[in-house]
Chain A
Amino acid sequence: MSITKIFDIAGSAMNAQMVRMNLTASNLANATTAASSPEEAFKAKRAVFRTILDEQTSNGNSTPGGGVRIDKIFDDPALAPRIHEPSHPQADKDGYVYKSNVNEVTETIEMMAAARSFQNSVEVASTARELMLKTIDMIKG
């Protein structure tokens, strides 16, 4: 029945948005970290979503086709800012530290976008729930 599938689809979307929100929280928490080389510096993490296809549902995946899953999580390629701070304990031999490439404004917007998408899925699920209850009520009436 189609309506029961809506719960799984909305659930998978909520799950994906929650991962995105977690990544944003982690990025914000690590925004002020510093390292002594550009490779060690914290990179902002981003999630890429992907649609679950119908044929993937059959092998052990309970979410019906059309739901969302996390395709990959990648590091933001933006350069880590190099700052001259010789007194910093993490400074390299030239006195530079490498800050994380997290942009707080971007992360805040990302957080809001994820929250809005999450709310959309909640609304979808609650409408589906109401319609399902109405359908069931018909049997009682």
Chain B
Amino acid sequence: MNITNNPFGIHESALRARSERLELLAKNIANADTPQFKARDIDFKQALLKSEKQTMRATHTNHFQISQTAGGNDALKYRVPFNASADGNTVEMPVEQANYGRAAADYRATLSFIQDKSNSIKRALRGD
């Protein structure tokens, strides 16, 4: 652990990835009655890798910007529904509710890791 440079380690990018997932699940729940809406979810491992690593940089004028390519966000996946619906909507409310609850608990967990880290840094600084 490097106190001055990267005090929270992986948890900083984890928190970002977790809040992104919460937002995505909120979108799914909001669109539960929208015809043709396709539910999406984040592949957490890839999302974390993405926010950990520096994104590719365009070093030549002919290089594509990463955001312009179709595979810009490969952590985003479409959910495969258990049952097909007549209006083409793939949101299954119990699945989304369960995932949202889980994602909220994950967010709390990451938050408490960060809290622990910051508490121990504070204790070290105070010296008691």
| B104 and A127 contact, CB distance less than 8 A | yes
A78 at the interface (CB under 8 A from B): no
Which A residues from 33 to 83 make CB contacts under 8 A with B? 48-51, 66-68
A-contact bits for B1-36, CB 8 A (1 contact / 0 none): 000000000000000100110111011011111110
Bound CA span A128–B23, Å:
9
| B118 and A138 contact, CB distance less than 8 A | yes
B75 at the interface (CB under 8 A from A): no
Interface of B, helix, strand, loop or mixed by DSSP = helix
A134 at the interface (CB under 8 A from B): yes
Bound CA span A130–B104, Å:
9
Which B residues lie within 8 Å of A123 (CB)?
A: 97
Bound CA span A68–B29, Å:
10
Which A residues lie within 8 Å of B37 (CB)?
A: 51
Smallest beta-carbon distance A106→chain B, Å: 15
Question: How many residues of A sit at the interface, in one of the four size bands?
Answer: 20 to 34
Bound CA span A12–B27, Å:
10
A135 at the interface (CB under 8 A from B): yes
Which of B29, B93, B100, B111 is the one whose CB lies under 8 Å from A135? B111
| A68 and B118 contact, CB distance less than 8 A | no
B79 at the interface (CB under 8 A from A): no
Which B residues lie within 8 Å of A30 (CB)?
A: none
A1 at the interface (CB under 8 A from B): yes
Question: How many residues of B sit at the interface, in one of the four size bands?
Answer: 20 to 34
Which of A51, A127, A138 is the one whose CB lies under 8 Å from B115? A138
Which B residues from 23 to 54 make CB contacts under 8 A with A? 23-24, 26-27, 29-35, 37
A2 at the interface (CB under 8 A from B): yes
A27 at the interface (CB under 8 A from B): no
Bound CA span A17–B31, Å:
10
Bound CA span A1–B111, Å:
15
Which of A2, A66, A113 is the one whose CB lies under 8 Å from B19? A2
| B34 and A68 contact, CB distance less than 8 A | yes
| B100 and A2 contact, CB distance less than 8 A | no
10 nearest A-B residue pairs (beta carbon) = A66-B27, A13-B30, A2-B19, A2-B23, A49-B34, A6-B26, A9-B26, A9-B30, A127-B104, A124-B26
Binding site for B on A (CB under 8 A): 1-3, 5-6, 9-10, 12-13, 16-17, 20, 48-51, 66-68, 113, 117, 120-121, 123-124, 127-128, 130-131, 134-135, 138, 141
